[in-house]
Amino acid sequence: MIHGISYFPSPLFEGFLEGILLGIILLWKKNTIYYRGQLGVWFLGGYGFFRFIAEFFRSPDIQIGYILGNWMTI
* pLDDT computed for residue 55 by the predictor: 79
* pLDDT computed for residue 4 by the predictor: 61
- Residue range 21-39: mean pLDDT, rounded: 91
On the question of pLDDT at 62 being above 80, the answer is no
Plot region of 60 (φ>0 → left; ψ -120 to 50 → alpha; else → beta): beta
The pLDDT > 90 percentage for the chain reads: 32
Which pLDDT band holds residue 27 (cuts at 50, 70, 90)?
Answer: very high
8 Å CB contact between 8 and 59: yes
Number of domains within the chain: 1
Structural domain boundaries enclosing 18: 1-74
